[in-house]
Amino acid sequence: MRFFFGMVLLTVSSVSIAQDAKDYPNRPIRIMGGGVGSTADFLSRFIGQKLNEKWGQPVVVDNRAGAGGTIATDIVAKAAPDGYTLSMGHAGTHVSAVSLYKDLPYDPVRDFAPITRVSSGVTVVVTHPSLPVSSARELIALAKVKGTLSYGSAGNGTISHLTGELFNQIAGVKLQHIPYKSAGFALNALLANEVPVSFLSPVTAHTQLRAQRVKALAVSGKERFPSLPDVPSAPEAGLTGMEAELWFGLFAAAKTPRAIVIKLNEAVVEILNRAEVRDAILKQGAIVRPGTPDELGNFLRDELKRWTPIIKASGIVAG
């Protein structure tokens, strides 16, 4: 009898979950998109618009800057597991935060249901036009002479920050780190010449690079980036080893029904595989990376294994 009733409960539960997925979404979806002007913000708005067109339900981007994106991410970790509150996660929120924040209020693996990777890219070494350098080598030489140059990042523990520290280690200099609430704030600080150097996503700096209001000296990769063909790769710029992938992935709260996760995955992957979407995101400075929920989960675990010992060895701290 216990077995019989157990099977009945399991069947009822399965039917209920399937019905939830069939009806999903029937109200607005919220994506925690990080700070205004960040890559996470851009991707959240872009995909949100496409999901709105596909499903006819509003997709609202909720911008919560600060603490390297962990404030916004924690909201998703504690949200109802129903697929209506999503996180545009990245290396800062789901990898480096584990080492940097002693009291991180969430676990990036346990507290989230992966949906799909969205994109990957690089960071760009950018300077204010007034800085008398035209290459990474000249920046390094100037930094060694002055000894007081600073760089702005998108926040403690973000890839923007980690790339800056990799630059310091590889170049043998000590640019002073100035963290901002988000990439958008860091870009504004660079434009205002509050900081002469920054390490930013091509998505964030796209408009200002085209307008030549900032100068790009190198990208954080072994090869030149497709959307910035005239900017030297790290090895070409004399920065061999400065490799830092700027990735983004969509997550829901843990225990979100698998059927809803799959429905979200199929919708977002279909959107990302559209030729016009790939081209539009590439023009902004990122490459689409659609995949399965399990692929994102495995990728996240691999990134944690790679970066955690590097961060701890570097002595980087939040705050």
Domain ranges of the chain: 28-119+246-314, 124-219
Cβ atoms of 192 and 177 within 8 Å: the answer is no
* Overall CATH class of domain 124-219: alpha beta
Those residues with Cβ within 8 angstroms of residue 66's Cβ, 6 or more apart along the chain or in another chain = 35, 155, 181, 182
Number of Cβ within 10 Å of residue 59's Cβ equals 21
What residue has token string 């590889």?
A: 170
pLDDT band at 12 (very low <50, low <70, confident <90, very high): very low
Nearest C-alpha neighbor of 188 from the set 212, 204, 165: 204
Nearest C-alpha neighbor of 62 from the set 79, 45, 47: 45
Higher pLDDT, 310 or 84: 84
DSSP helix/strand/coil, 212: coil
The conformation of residue 173, written as its DSSP 8-state character, comes to: -
Tens digits of per-residue pLDDT, 200-253? 999 889 899 999 999 999 999 999 999 899 999 999 999 999 988 889 999 999
Q: DSSP string covering 58-75, please?
A: -EEEE----GGGHHHHHH
CATH topology identical between 28-119+246-314 and 124-219: yes
Cβ atoms of 177 and 160 within 8 Å: the answer is no
Tens digits of per-residue pLDDT, 157-213? 788 988 998 899 899 999 999 999 888 999 999 999 999 999 999 988 989 999 999
Fold type of domain 28-119+246-314:
D-Maltodextrin-Binding Protein; domain 2 (3.40.190)
CA distance 218 to 210: 15
**pTM, two decimal places:** 0.82
Helix axes 293-314, 159-171, angle to 10 degrees: 40
